[in-house]
Amino acid sequence: MQPQRLSMKSSLFLWQRKALNGQENCIRRKGIRDMTQRERQEHAKKTIFQAALAEFGAQPYETVTMDRICSRHGISKGMMYHYFSSKDELFLLCVKELFQSLQVYIQEESTQIQKENSHAAIRQYFMLRERFFAREPAWEVIFESAMVHMPEHLRADILELRRPVREMNRRFLQEVIAEMSLRPAVKAEHAARYLESLECVFRRILEQYCAKDDPKDARSMLAAAEEVLDMLLLGILKR
């Protein structure tokens, strides 16, 4: 069954609400006044972080402001700036959560990939990320803000947060390339570098490829991603 885009309210980080259930139950039992100082601090930080995820998951980085987060989610500026100094600090926390979630998803799903068929294995591996974003559109918005339209002053921080995902990708690609029959002029290290480069720029290429048709649903976007990926991996010229 193909994944479907859900409404922002229903799909935006369902796991987060589950993570807060225990704390919310504690609050209902004890009441805010009866919480310890540490519990109140953790509750406040999680409330702000959840609001930031909602905003960065719905809007490009440049349109989100601290004032917007506060006004749209009933957070006082005093509380906001007590815990977080800037929107960049909040954005990087969201990016960190994104890459951690993406890494866990790919690690779990990639165990089903058969590496004997190199082209199919690479194609399936690249498509895992697209399926992840099709399931959670809010993560896709954050990813595009971080990687496709990267704020230049945050480049070093974002690349460092992405490093575990990049290393995971590199290990997989090296294992697959070891089983490939490469052209005599192509070294394994060059093939690995090429595929890593594709992984980095794939979203930008896909964005341009889809500019005319502008697919709205997950099925159309996944189909377009597969088309682009096949052309990138196999080329477009008949040999």
> What's the rounded Cα separation, in Å, for the pair 219 and 94?
26
Decide if pLDDT at 214 tops 90. Answer: no
128 or 216, which is more confident = 128
83 or 115, higher pLDDT: 83
For the cut 90, the answer to whether the pLDDT of residue 108 exceeds it is yes
pLDDT at position 102: 97
Sequence-ordered alpha helix ranges (H) in the chain? 8-11, 14-30, 37-56, 66-73, 77-83, 87-109, 118-135, 137-143, 155-177, 188-209, 218-234
**Stated pTM of the model:** 0.78
Q: What is the pLDDT of residue 215?
A: 64
Please tell me what DSSP assigns to residue 111. G
CATH number of 89-234: 1.10.357
Question: Distance (Å, rounded) from C-alpha 66 to C-alpha 229?
Answer: 38
| Minimum mean pLDDT range among 16-25, 30-39, 77-86, 189-198 | 16-25
| Burial tier of 133 (Cβ tally within 10 Å: 0-12, 13-18, 19+) | buried
Ranges of each domain in the chain: 10-85, 89-234
Given this model, what pLDDT does residue 32 score? 56
Q: What is the mean pLDDT of the chain?
A: 83
